[in-house]
Amino acid sequence: MRDIGKNVAGERSGSAILNGLVWDVTERVKAEEALRREDSFRRAIIDRATEGLCVCHEIETPPYIRFTVWNVRMTEITGYTIEEINQRGWYQAVYPDPDLQRRARERMERMRVGDDLRDEEWEITARTELDVL
């Protein structure tokens, strides 16, 4: 249950008056818990995947791509955490050659309009212990 109330002093009698509203939030609480369980289940699948899994979207400012999903395997493959890759930028981090960065951006643009990326391989440069952000 949830309630909202206000204790207001009576103008004429000087007595206290309670003005309030009470409603049952049981269904909302159940729905929120179900969403938490579902999110936890999805996160477990992503984190335990043997392949690198990530999800990103374009942003208007550098580094132009922001990742919202980045599993542990992606960190192992690239050497970057999600925070680091979002700070440095995907293209800037894994394609140090400016020409390769340009080609990779062009390739992603074609993918966004329906070009298929399956069975395509791109070599990336992983972060080493000598790399500093």
* pLDDT > 90 fraction of the chain, expressed in percent and rounded: 50
Q: Is the pLDDT of residue 118 over 90?
A: no
Q: What is the DSSP letter of 56?
A: E
pLDDT (tens digit per residue) in 47-80: 999 999 999 998 998 888 999 999 999 999 999 9
Give the sign of the dihedral formed by CA 40, CA 42, CA 45, CA 47.
Answer: negative
Which residues, other chains included, contact 125 with Cβ-Cβ below 8 Å and sequence gap of 6+?
A: 93, 94, 95, 96
Mean pLDDT, residues 102-122: 87
| Least confidently predicted of 5-9, 47-51, 80-84, 117-121 | 5-9
pLDDT for 111 equals 85
Residue 21 binned pLDDT confidence (cut-offs 50, 70, 90): confident
Over residues 32-52, mean pLDDT: 92
Residue 21, H or E segment? strand 16-23
